[in-house]
Every structure is written in structure tokens, then in C-alpha cells.
Amino acid sequence: MTIAGFEATENQLTGVKEYLKKFVENEVPFTALFNQLSCSAFSKCAVFLTSFEFTDRIHNITKNVRNIIPVTEMSKISQPHVSIGRDLSEDQLKIAVQLFADKSFKFDCCQLALRRFNPKTGQYVILQEFPFSGKPDQEKFQQMPIDWGL
């Protein structure tokens, strides 16, 4: 999933890395479900969207990371998604619907990766990974007492 696209000098990139290191200290890994296929003739892409129960959590991570990155210009990013096809023709979009309409998958959200676009390959190369190192709130996992009314 893409959180933010931006251009940065090497000096700014150093700052971005420092901000990301601090951000992941409190993030707890989780598994999200992507179960909504969206095929758009307008954008010519096919993407999977998160299930309703994870949309807010992933959106909050996206929003928070975008707010802390110290760069002035950032690309507009749509709702969190995983792309399965870009620059597709109408026929290819129809095939995507046939192949993927009833599919879903789980996605382990356990780190952020800072990537750099390589114009020669048209792909992104990972510069550094930032694993989530937050601990689950133990109070949420404590067994609640049961009042049997006896």
C-alpha cells in the first residue's frame, strides 16, 4: 500500500527516516482483511480495498504518517488499497472482475517501508524498513470478570 509519494533531497530523506523510526515505536502489528474489489474504467486500475473493520485503522496510520513527514509537497493518495493492475483496458478490467470478484486476502501490517522510484525499471526499490515495535495494550487483553448474579 502506498501511504505517501513525495520528492526529497538526501538531507530531507534523512529527516523522513528519523520521523518514521519514531512513529513505528508505538505501532502494534495487526492483520487486515482486503475483501473489496474495485475496478475503475476512469483510473484504469483494479485494486483491493480493506474490509470495513480495518479501514479506519489503516486510514489513521496513513494520515498520521503523512502528517509527520517533513516535506512540503506530497502526492494525493486515495483510500488505502493494494493495486493488482494498473493501466488496464476495458477488456482487462472485465477479466479482473471475473478473476478476483470473490477473492479476499489477509495482509500483515507490521512495518513501513521507505521506497525510491527507479525510472529505468518503473518499479520501487526499498531503501529501509521500519518494523512496528509497539506492544499491545495489556489491559485490552485481560480477562473480564463475569458477574453471574449469584
Q: How far apart are the first and last CA of the chain?
A: 52
Say whether pTM exceeds 0.85: no
Q: What is the pLDDT of residues 4-48, one digit of tens each?
A: 888 888 998 999 999 999 999 999 999 999 999 999 888 899 888
Q: What is the pLDDT of residues 49-76, one digit of tens each?
A: 888 888 888 888 988 888 888 787 788 7
3-state secondary structure of 48: strand
Q: What is the pLDDT of residues 109-145, one digit of tens each?
A: 999 999 998 999 988 899 999 999 987 654 444 444 5
SS in 3 state form for 77-119? Answer: CCCCEEEEECCCCHHHHHHHHHHHCCCCEEEEECEEEEEEEEC
Q: Which helix (H) or strand (E) holds 35?
A: strand 30-40
Question: Rounded CA gap, 85 and 103, in Å?
Answer: 15
What is the domain partition of the chain in residue ranges? 10-131
CATH of domain 10-131: 3.90.1140.10
Q: What is the pLDDT of residue 137?
A: 56
